Amino acid sequence: MMRKILCSLLLASFAVSAQAETKVPTSQAEISLGFAPVVKQASPAVVNIYAKIVRQGRANPFFSDPFFQDFFGRGFGEPRPRVQNSLGSGVILSDDGYVVSNYHVVGTATEIRVVTTDRREFSAQVVLGDKESDIAILRLEEAENLPYLQMRDSDHVEVGELALAIGNPFGVGQTVSSGIISGLARTGAATGNARGYFIQTDAAINPGNSGGALIDVNGDLIGINTAILTRSGGSNGIGFAIPANLVAEFLRQAQGGNDSFISPWAGMAGQHMSADIAESLGLVVPLGVVVSDLHPLSPLAEAGLRVGDVVTHVDGDEVNSPAEMKFRMAVAGVGGTSMVTRLRGEERTEVEIALIKAPETPAAEETTLDDQTVMPGLTVSRVNPAVIAKMGLVLSQTGVVVVDAGSYGGGGGLRAGDVVNSINGTEIETPRDVVDALTDPGRRINLDVLRGGRSVFLRFRL
């Protein structure tokens, strides 16, 4: 009886997607093999990654004070760097050695070693990484004729499909776990990353699986395993993978020579469509993203969208969150156009928008203060759309933002992302204003900054 049930389940799962051209087992012998042929085909393209990361230790707050530094000497009490070893997985994407992994595994590594299933070792360098997307593309040194995985169109993945996760959990060695696709288009707090867009699976994923492969029954890459929901640190059957379509765009940009990921800029703030909002807009079904703010230079504003409009589709694909809309645009890539479906009242319209980089207007004029000021190492920049996108600022923000507080600014309470309104009562409009205000400012410094939408006043004596 169990054999008949297993046979039925396997037949159903192999036929789940005609678009994927899945293969149905034709004999009892093929069924008894389970996933062995798929694993044998795919596993050589999944690698173990060992990375060394240098992290600064915590500084004693007393030694950020100039008095203690003058008394004990510069450098006394400064944090000592610590070397941490990071363990993860990766997937070979091309025969000449391009490998994808998670940014949190290798993004800040000083040394990366990649080991294949046949025990060959390669040194590797990160050629393109993006912390927000948690994707890093590596290039193996002196690599050729490597096995690699084909990437499947992840938009055609369906809930209920069989899936295999391949990686190196807890460093025990390459391991395969099986499950199904549990959900699609996962975003928000449930994933632990409100900006992400993930495929959910119940295939067991544990620490060390990060950057490994999530494949279908044909051995094609569906996604890159990146996160789990857990209270214990182990797998609870809720894992998340970055869709292969986004990985493909990262690979394209890396092979094109980009050293940072360039994503199309919408210049829009959006809000998830709740039932209450849908009712207020006269919608029967809560669908789409409500436009809550638009930057004057936004390509959506240029195309005629305005606050209060609802975006329901991008290039024919349904979007129900800002993260999902951003994903659709990122997959399309900079330089082309996308068709956006706009709902305004009862009017539904297809609007073409340009996929552009965030503009550098006005010029950022990024400036790092020197020893002639009281906060050497403080780096500030004028706010523009590119800086807004990089720093996660509100679209309407203007002025000057702290890019790096440095040791002196950090000791005074400044943080990256703080917008400097005034220093000692002098209004700040440009990075040069910061330099002038912190050059011989007297014995007291009063800073008025905007932090997370709130005014913060920092006062200290020199």
Catalytic residues: 104, 134, 210
322-332 and 244-255 helices, crossing angle to 10°: 40
Measured between alpha carbons, how far is 459 from 462 in angstroms, rounded to an integer?
10
Q: Is omega for the bond preceding 362 within 30 degrees of 0, making it cis? A: yes
* DSSP 3-state of 166: strand
Spatial neighbors of 415 by CB under 8 A, at least 6 apart, are 402, 405, 451
Measured between alpha carbons, how far is 52 from 86 in angstroms, rounded to an integer?
6
* DSSP 3-state of 12: helix
Contact 341, 313 (CB under 8 A): yes
CA 143 to chain centre: 27
Contact 135, 104 (CB under 8 A): no
Measured between alpha carbons, how far is 200 from 235 in angstroms, rounded to an integer?
13
Strands (E), 205-364: 213-215, 221-228, 239-243, 268-272, 289-294, 310-314, 317-318, 337-344, 347-354
Instruction: Transcribe 359-390 into DSSP letters.
Output: P--S----EE--TTSSSTT-EEEE--HHHHHH
* DSSP type of residue 134: T
Torsion angle of alpha carbons 108, 113, 115, 120, nearest 10°? 150
Residue 116 class from Cβ within 10 Å (0-12 exposed, 13-18 middle, 19+ buried)?
buried
Report, in this order, helix, strand and coil percent for the chain, each rounded to 5.
25, 35, 40
